[in-house]
Chain A
Amino acid sequence: MSHAKTHLRVVGALLVRETTTRFGSKPGGYVWALLDPSAHIFLLVSIFQAIAHSPALGTSFALFFATGYIAFQFYQAMSAYLNSAVRANRALLSYPGVAPIDTIVARCILQAGTTALVATIVLGTILTIARLHFSISWPPIFHAILNASLLGIGIGMMNNVLFVKFPAYEQIFNIVNRPLFLVSGVFFLVDSIPHPYQSVVLLNPLAHIIMIFRTGFYPEYRAIGADLEYLYLLSFLTFFVGMLIFTSYSAVLRKE
C-alpha cells in the first residue's frame, strides 16, 4: 500500500516537472505542445488542397487529413516521447523513491492527454469551420486510440532498454520509423491500393488504426481490410513484450 502511494506521489511530481520543463525555456510553455501539431496539420492541409482535386474520402481535405494524422499521432508522439523517458530522467533515479517505470507512467499520461487535447482542438475546429454534417461514432475512435497508445507504450518501453543496450539499434529504428508516416495511409486510403501490395501494407498495424479511426468520422466509409482482432492481438503483444523487456532490464536502466 505504501509502495503504491510512493509511486503515485512520484508520478504526480514528475507530471508537474515534465509539463513545466518540456517547453519551459520558451515563452508560452506548454501551449507549444498543442500549437506545434495543430500548425503542422493546417500547413500540410493547405499544401495538399493546392495540389489535389478532392480528398479520397468525403469533401473536406482538412478532415480527411487530420483524422489520419491524429490517429497516427496517438502512436507516434507517444513512442517518440517515451523512447527517452528514462534517459532524460536518469539523474532522478538516484532518489531511492523514483523507479524507472514512474518516468514512463508520467510521460504516458502527459502525452495521452496532450494528443487528446490536440485532437479535440483540431477536429473540433475543422468540423465547426467547415460546417460539415457529421455524425461521430465513438466506439471505433476509442478502439483506434487505445490500440495506438498500447503500441506506442510497448515500443517506447522496449526502446528505453534497447537504445541503451544496442546504440546502433537507435539509428536503425529511426530509419524504419520515419517513413511509417507515409505508408500508413495518412494521405491516401489503403483500400484503394491494388491487391498484392494492399496485403503488405495491411501488415502495418498503424494502417488498421487509421482506417478504424476514420470510420468514426465517415459513416459511409467501409474500411475494407481493417481487422480489429489482428490489431488488438498485435497491440497487446507489443505492450506485454515491451513491459517484459522493461521490467527485466530495469537494472540496466539504473546504471550509468
Chain B
Amino acid sequence: MTLVRATRELGRQWPWVLLALAVVVFVLAPVVPLQWQALDNGAAGIRALADLPGFWDVVVMTLAIGFGALAVAMVLGTSLALAVQALPDRLRRGLAFTPALPLVIPGIAHVVGFVFLFSPESGYINAFLRMLPFFSELTTGPINVYQPFWIIMYTGINLAAFVYLFVRTGLQNLGDDFGMAARVNGAGAGRVLWTVTLPMLRPTLVYASVVVLLLSLGQFTGPLMLGRREGVDVLTTQMFALTQRYPIDYAIAASLGTPLLVVALILVVVQRRLIGDQNRFVGRGVSSVRQAPRSRVGTALATVYVVLYVLLAAVLPILALGFVSLTPYWSGNLSLELLTTKNYVAAFSEPDLLVAVGTTLLVTLLAIAVVLPLGMLVALAIYNRHRLWKPVAAVIDAGANLPLAVPAALIGFGFLFAYSLPGVRLYGTTAGLVIAYITIMLPFAVRYQLATLISVGRATSDASLVAGAGPARTFFRIIMPLGRSGLASSAALIFILLVHEFGVSVLLRAPGTTVMSVLLFDEYGGGSYPMVAVIALVMTVVTSVGVIAALIFGGTRALERI
C-alpha cells in the first residue's frame, strides 16, 4: 500500500475515520491515562507492588477464583446445556431459558441472596442443613459463603449461566443430525457424546472458556461483598480498597490493574487466533432429523438437574431476598409470625431509594440514547468492512470490543482517574457516569446490532442502493423498519445490563450519582439487611421491565444474547 493510496483512502472514507477516532477516544480514555501512571517513573508503581503487604496472596486468590470458577462454570454450564438437549421437545421449550435466569437478576442482589442462604450463622439453607441428623452437632455452617472455596463455588454457579447459553447455542447450531447419524451407525448415547457432540462443540467450548475466564479473573462484586468478612481479596477489590483511602495512590492502584489488562489482551488475541471471525457463529439452528426418543429415566434425571440448578442459582436467592425484606431483622429463622411491610414503607418514605431509582433511570436512558446509534454506526462499519479501508475497519472493530476484555472495576477506576485530571470536570457529574456507561456498553450495542444487520441480510440493503437510494434512505426506509424488533430488544438488553451495573458505578460514585446498586452496597455495609433486600427486589422489578420488553420485541431467545 503506497502512501498515495493511503491518503486517498483516508480522504474518501473520512466519516469512518472520524468514527474510528471517536471509538478509540471512548475506549482508551479509561485505560491509557491510568496505565501511564503505572508505567511512569520507570514503572515505579509496578515495582512497588511487590512491597505491598499481602500482594502475592492477592494474586494467588485472583488466580484461584479465576480458574476455580472457570472449571466449575464450564462443567456445570456444559452439563446443563446437555441436560436441556436431552429433554423431550415440549419440556425443552419450557425449560430452555430457565438456566439463563441468574443473568437476569442484578449481580449485587444475587450475591446478597446467596448471603441470606449460605451465611454460616443465619443462612437459611445452613439453618435447614443443621436440622438434618448429619449436621445436627454444628452451631454454624456447614457452608461458609465467605470462605474462598465457597466464593469460587458461588462465582462458578453464577457464570455457569453464560457457559450454558454458549453451549446451548452451539448445540442448536449443531442440530441433531450428526448425533443421529452416529446413533444409526451403532453408537450409544455416551459414545455419541464423547466422539461426536463434544468434539464438534470444541470451538464453542474454547470460546466460552475464554469469555468466562475473562469474567472470572475480573470478578469484583462477588469477592467484594463475600470476601470482606474473612479478608479474602482479589486484584479488583484491592484496587477498590486503595481508592477508599485519601490521598489515592494512583500509581500503585493502576499497577494492580496492569496484570489483569495484560492477561485480558492476551486472552482476546488467543481467542481471535483460535476462533477467527465471530460472524461465523451466528446460528442456523435447523435440523432435518427428528431427535431420538428419550428414555423416561434420562428425562427425569435431566429435568431434576436443570430444576435444581435454577432453584439454587435463581429462585431461592430471590425468595430469600423477598423473605428478608418482609422481616424486621434477618435471623435465619423462617418463622412467618413476624412478617411486616414496614421495610417497604420505610424505604419509599425516605428519598434515598426514589432518588437512586431516578438517577439509575436517567443515566441508563441517556447512555442508551447515545450508545445505540453509536453502536449501530460501528456495527455498520464492521458489517461493511470489506468496503472500508482495512486499517480503519480493524481499528473500529478492535476498539469497540476492547471494553469487553477489561474488568468493569478497572474501567471505573480508569474513568475516576481520567476525570480527576486537571481540566476534566466530569467527576461526580451525570455526564461522567453516562460516558462511562457508554464505554462499557459499546461492545454489547455493537454485537446485538451486528446480529440485527446480519438477520436483515445484505441483499436487502444492496437492493436499495442499486435502486438509487443513498445510505441514509436505505438505513431509514429499509434497515430500520426490518430491524425494528432487533433494535428494540437490544435497547432492552442494554437497559438490563446498565441497571445491574455496579463496578463502574461504585468507583464513580458521588452524592449526585448514586445509582441503585451503589445504594444497596451502602446499606449492606451498614448492616441494614431488610433494607438491602427491599432495594435488591426493587432493582429486580425495574430489571424485569427491561426483561419483559426484551421478550416482547425479541422473543424467547432474546435473553440468550446477554
Q: Do A and B come from one complex?
A: no
**Which residues of A pack against B, CB within 8 Å?**
none
**Which residues of B pack against A, CB within 8 Å?**
none
